[in-house]
Amino acid sequence: MSEHKSIGTFSAESRRFEPSADFRARARISSLEQYQTLYRESLDSPETFWRRELEELVFTKPWTVLAEGKVPFVKWFADAELNITESCLDRHLTTSVRDKVAIQWEAEPGEVRRLTYAELAAQTVRFAAALRSLGVGRGDRVAIYMGMVPEVVVGMLACARIGAVHSVVFGGFAAESLRDRINDCGAKVVLTQDGAWRRGHVVPLKETVDRAVEHTPSIEKVIVLRHLGQERAPISLKPGRDVDWAEAAAAAEPAAGTPEHVNAEHPLFILYTSGSTGKPKGVLHTTAGYLAGAYLSTKYVFDLRDDDVYWCTADVGWVTGHSYIVYGPLSNGATCLMYEGAPNFPDWGRFWQLIEKHRVTVLYTAPTAIRAFIRAGNQWPAAQDLSSLRLLGSVGEPINPEAWVWYHEHIGGGRCPIVDTWWQTETGSILITTLPGAAEMKPGSAGLPFFGVEPEVVTSDGRAVGPGAAGLLVVRRSWPSQLRTVYGDDDRYVQQYYSEIEGNYFTGDGAHRDESGYFTVVGRIDDVLNVSGHRIGTAEIESALVSHKAVAEAAAVGRPDELKGQALVVFVTLKPGHTAGSELVSELRAHVGKEIGKFAAPDDIRFAEALPKTRSGKIMRRLLKDIAAGREAQGDVSTLEDLNVLAKLSADE
């Protein structure tokens, strides 16, 4: 077991926000007492809880055993059989949901398409039949390298329909990264498209696949969707290997698209965690447990109603897209907006225009995107009618209180509850949040445990710490949607997630819990800095900086220091109307000293026009660590949104 010293908590957030009486009155869970009753039942009487809560889902063979086995290898609903697409599609076809819009899609140039549940089901069945005709069957792996188009959802569901295991690779990854992921899972087929829109340009996805599969011996077929057409995205199909998507679907017999009923623990998908510089780590999720988590969390966390237009802004290449664009919303019969394009093209008003145009009611996006919108200026959201919104969500990393309050005021008009959500690729679904009608919201705090989840903040030897003290965030017991292993490497699974605190899932995050039971995540343990003998999370330093009126975004990293061991370096972007300079540096250092303590005042403050981010909006702190240390940026940069940002920061060094 590695040793982790305690992490300090140095700042406090006292602001509290209650959901309105009107929201509470209509919410699925409308009081703290109701939440607490259900939560205790989910831990103390899980058989009763899960049987009732999952009764709308389709099991062709019901489960008689809720969970079996010992941590870390626990099977959920182990003797059940099902096909996940029957819960996401077929069950809706005999109800009014049949003619409801499932996917409302808009492309960057403005094209709009709508697919009802009946149309989505028909396309899925036909494409499932096409996959079967090409030799894809139960247990085969299918790589998916596509953009944000409706067909990527069809492809995922079609794989699940026939019992094949999909592995979606984010369309921003380079050919080498795609190659490594294909080879790791031994994919038999790749689904791709000619190209995708990004900031007015075409991303040539098929070209990347062509380079990748030169070195992937397991690939037999490449199925290509002609999304943009030959004029915009010219491609050629390799005879014998490449298959036209539309032609294959048209030639298939729908009768061959019947659902393959699989065991509850049958693999549903493999998703590779991003940012790895070593061997790709394939997180494996299975069918019934994953569906249970995605379905129930979508229903309660987003308080779904029949007339909602729900927009999760993530890419399907990440787990957020899997759980909260595809499987969670569709199993609940929701209408989902999908957008193919950049959030700031042609300008920073695009997101808000989409909300007004499509009358979005629930928005789920990332803190990094929110901070970028703050930096762009309040005039962009102010120019649009956002009155359709009734609920906001945050995902991806801890949201600092000032960004939370801006989101609440400028996007939610002060009326929309915010569900800050903590979870991971490995957890499959949301584990900590504040249900929107149940309890008060605390900016910066993820909130309370979701049903069936038992998180704890502990010391390095597994002892629980008291309220206000920080430590390691673990989960004490198994839950349905957790990963089952690292694909092909059970030893790595055990070592990475269950060796730190025996019998507990170790999240890799530091956190603290207050006297009301609210969890606040302070960042990755690897990002904890030792500042003058104080161990403090980077999220706390960044939050203090962003609370200053001039700062839009901040990223804190450590660099080696001969005298102190570690010096604190922060990269800062400014809001419009503020100018970088020595006076502001002094002001920011004093501000951090006031908010946290003088020991936390940064040694070096560097102003930047932008911070290096992935296309999903996450700041790539490892690159900033290299720059702060005076090194050339190392590792894979294929998911970097804008290479010019990295070049500019390096040039300024």
Partner residues linked to 20 by β-bridges: none
Are 234 and 599 a contacting pair, CB within 8 Å?
no
In this structure, the number of other CB atoms found within 10 A of the CB of residue 263 comes to 17
Q: Which of 289, 266, 301 is nearest to 50 (CA)?
A: 289
Residue 525: the pLDDT is 79
| 147-161, 365-379, 474-488: the lowest-pLDDT one | 365-379
- Return the number of other C-beta atoms located less than 10 Å from residue 23's C-beta: 18
CA dist 409 → 163, 292, 388, 406, 617 (Å): 45, 34, 15, 5, 22
Q: Taking a C-beta distance cutoff of 8 angstroms, is the pair 67, 280 a contact?
A: no
CA distance linking residue 213 with residue 159, whole number of Å:
20
Residue matched to tokens 């899925």: 124
Mean pLDDT of 212-229: 97
Q: Summarize the confidence of residues 492-514 as an average pLDDT.
A: 94
In the chain, CATH 3.40.50.12780 sits at: 21-83+275-516
Residue 375: its pLDDT value, please? 87
Predicted pLDDT of residue 41: 98
Token output for 239? 């005879």
> Taken in order 619, 625, 630, 632, is the CA torsion positive or negative?
negative
Which residues of the chain does CATH 3.30.300.30 include?
524-652
Residue 563: which pLDDT band, with cuts at 50, 70 and 90? low
> Which of residues 9 and 328 earns the better pLDDT score?
328
pLDDT tens digits for range 9-48: 555 678 999 999 999 999 999 999 999 999 999 999 999 9
Considering the domain delimited by 86-260, tell me its CATH architecture.
3-Layer(aba) Sandwich (3.40)
The model's confidence at residue 2, banded by pLDDT at 50, 70 and 90, is very low
Task: Answer whether residue 248 shows pLDDT above 50.
Answer: yes
pLDDT in the model for residue 3 = 44
CA distances from 157 to 89, 178, 356 (A): 9, 21, 30
Element (H, E) at 355: helix 350-358
Q: What's the token pair of residue 250?
A: 């048209």
Query: What are the tens digits of pLDDT across the range 591-609?
Result: 988 877 777 889 999 998 8
pLDDT confidence bin for 275, thresholds 50/70/90: very low
406, pLDDT greater than 60: yes
pLDDT in tens, 126-156: 999 999 999 999 999 999 999 999 999 999 9
Express as a percent the part of the chain with pLDDT over 70.
92
**Lowest-pLDDT choice from 183-197, 287-301, 449-463, 602-616:** 602-616
Average of per-residue pLDDT values in the chain: 91
Q: At what angle do helices 175-185 and 205-212 cross, to 10 degrees?
A: 60
Q: Measured in whole angstroms, how far is the alpha carbon of residue 246 from the centre of its chain?
A: 30
At 119, is the secondary structure helix, strand, or coil? helix
- What's the pLDDT score for residue 643? 64
Please give the pLDDT value at position 366: 92
Beta bridge partners of 267: 286
- Say how far apart CA 511 and CA 142 lie, in whole Å: 37
In tens, the pLDDT along 95-138 reads 999 999 999 999 999 999 999 999 999 999 999 999 999 999 99
- CATH 3.40.50.980 domain residues, the chain: 86-260
pLDDT at 1: 39
Task: Name the β-bridge partners of 283.
Answer: 271, 486
What span, in angstroms and rounded, lies between the C-alpha atoms of 322 and 457? Answer: 28
Q: How far is CA 439 from CA 117, 227, 436, in A?
A: 34, 45, 7
What pLDDT, on the 0 to 100 scale, is given for residue 635?
65
Residue 101 β-bridge partners: 116
Any idea which architecture 21-83+275-516 has in CATH?
3-Layer(aba) Sandwich (3.40)
Give one word for 262, left, alpha or beta, with left for phi > 0 and alpha for psi -120 to 50. Answer: beta
Q: Is the pLDDT of residue 520 over 90?
A: yes
CATH classification code of 524-652: 3.30.300.30
* Confidence band, pLDDT 50/70/90 cuts, at residue 193: very high
Reply yes or no on whether the pLDDT at 61 is more than 70: yes
Angle, helices 46-53 vs 32-44, to 10°: value is 110
